[in-house]
Structure 1
Amino acid sequence: MSNNYTAIKDIFIETDDVKDFVNLDKSTLAYHKILSALQKPLKLILFYGKPGTGKTFLLCKIKEDLEKKLDVVFFPQPFFDEKEFFSEMYFQIFGQYGDVDGYESFIRLYRDYLVDKKDSGSPKQVVILLDEAQLYPPNLIEKIRFLADTRLFKILFTVHKTDEEDTLAKDYFKTRIWSSIELPNSTLNELKLYIEKKLMFHNFHQYYYMYNDENFNIIYHLTDGNLRNLNKLLFKIYELCEYYEENKPTEIGATLNQKLIEMAAISAGLIDA
């Protein structure tokens, strides 16, 4: 079974490929705030938002843009061991593994590198992007903070904002952070733009006209503008369209049927059957 809906549904499988980045108002604002903060003499920056708002995707774009002019270390997954963290950071900076067994040895090796570079020009500043920072153990966070205190590094902590973790994150980071940036859920208009651009990027723009205002309102209500939930729902919608196109093509009209959207929402786990 394969038709246009087969290809369309795959558009909404989550990926970190920046080629699929959709430039929404909220993303653009957060992007420029982060770049602005990194240009200031700030040591620690907090970037937060609910799971599924697009934080990791934005971090990937920031990394790609920054590494053209700065040394960038990006850890999309958390570390729990100090030696592994600093060993991997040494590798990302120098392209090889060194004799690193923790914070102290890493700093010693890095300062030796700075001495060697003294006569050949100043090394580029190192920016460290940490995703899922709320999962790092407190003792490792302290060592990372010590890195920032040397003023040789700038650290961007990215954390999830949830009912359980929000208080913990703010209480732990609030005495250390110099700037905080939030990435909220998408608005209804941003949701429409996201769907339109995703389809347009893959030459399926004509399928955007299957949606009417009622469809958009239902989809926004079901997902609350959360991009992860939106991708899940759209994947299920087009999976159903794929089936009906092959088996019952009369079920697919000029606009999406509300029943089909609700069936997709049940399948995606967004509402109960």
Structure 2
Amino acid sequence: MIKIENLTYVYPNGEEEGQGKKALDDLSIEINKGDFVAILGHNGSGKSTLGKLLNAQIMPSSGDIWVDDINSKIEENIWDIREKCSMVFQNPDNQMVATTVEEEVAFGPENLAVANPELRNRVDEAIDLVGMSDFKHRNPSNLSGGQKQRVSIAGVIAMLSDYIIFDEPTAMLDPKGRKDVINLVKDLNKKHGKTIIYITHYMEEAVLADKIIVLDKGKKALEGSSREVFSQVAKMKELGLAVPQVTEVAYELKKAGLGIKELPLNIEEFLEII
């Protein structure tokens, strides 16, 4: 599991200027293996900073992050942390380093010193899993945004990471690309047992998570199932966040007097209620 205890992160320029600007402030969270956790929050709430801390790209200013009993603050643990916690970033173009898809997918495990034939098997299986087998010899720069993001995901699959952090992976994709990526994320969680930490500002994607954590000014503002969190429409608005469209429509109808007991999270639930 991932255990975050009293985690605080202060921006380096804040330290230099003596301002002490905190991106995260005394944050404590537990994420169990196999969970699908969505992290929500408005811009500047600390979402992406949390992802970088989990991936050991940056170190806590205070507090601890434990990944399967490995503390990320200890320098010699960094590579173990990054092997266990892989990260997929928002812009797929910023992640590409190779000239073919299979070389791109091999990059991570190669840096972990995985030797052939295991390396070849990992690469082929990962490419097949994301549905990109017909493109393995293509240059990633010639692919669509959604295809590039699938290649990035294949790269972390090939590293056999238990925990995969997604930092707004669909933000720069068209609707089809978004759908393909979120379906792949669901499969990684449900069919392959990967623990997903999914940072997003799309509420319709967050609904799919088992648990939602809402950050505000570096602190945990809400935590619970998607139904528990999105039923608090007024609180979400107070935090500067939306809820799924069907949830908000039902919320307004309920305020207008319609006898709705439980707010829906998707169109199917909404139709059943109506």
Greater share of strand residues, 1 or 2? Answer: 2
Q: TM-score range by the shorter chain?
A: 0.3 to 0.5
Flag the structure with larger Rg.
1
Q: Where is the helix percentage greater, Structure 1 or Structure 2? A: 1
